[in-house]
Amino acid sequence: SQQGEEDPQALSIQEGENATMNCSYKTSINNLQWYRQNSGRGLVHLILIRSNEREKHSGRLRVTLDTSKKSSSLLITASRAADTASYSCATGNSGTYKYIFGTGTRLKVLA
């Protein structure tokens, strides 16, 4: 079964708006990462947040992590049409070497 579950499954917004995606997971983690995938391409790493961190920023990206709720959110501010892609979270689980991915949120930014 998938460790991470993203919500919503799909999101459509206008250019300039903010996009928020959520990820929930089930077990203890060492870190949580967010990736972006354009259609038919490989995944590209966006940001990694460790279990002892609560918030992290990278450009227009803001990631939060709440280990008590086993959830994370990815905020993309001032979205652009080029942000249209699928966004997935992955967890590095305590005690294992596996990175487990969620099903992803398909974001569409309308120009």
Contact residues for other proteins, defined by CB under 8 A? 1-2, 4, 30-31, 33, 35, 40-45, 48, 50, 88, 90, 92, 97-104
- 15 or 64: whose CB is closer to other proteins? 64
Instruction: Tell the smallest beta-carbon distance from residue 54 to other proteins (Å).
Output: 18
Q: Which of 70, 79, 85, 80 shows the shortest CA–CA distance to 35?
A: 85
Least separation in angstroms between CB 77 and other proteins = 22
Q: Where does 15-111 show beta strands of DSSP type E?
A: 19-24, 29-37, 43-50, 55-58, 61-66, 71-76, 85-93, 99-101, 105-110
Task: Report, in Å, the least distance between residue 43 CB and other proteins.
Answer: 5
**8, β-bridge pairs:** none
Question: Residue 65 CA to chain centroid, in angstroms?
Answer: 11
* Choice between 15 and 31, CB closer to other proteins: 31
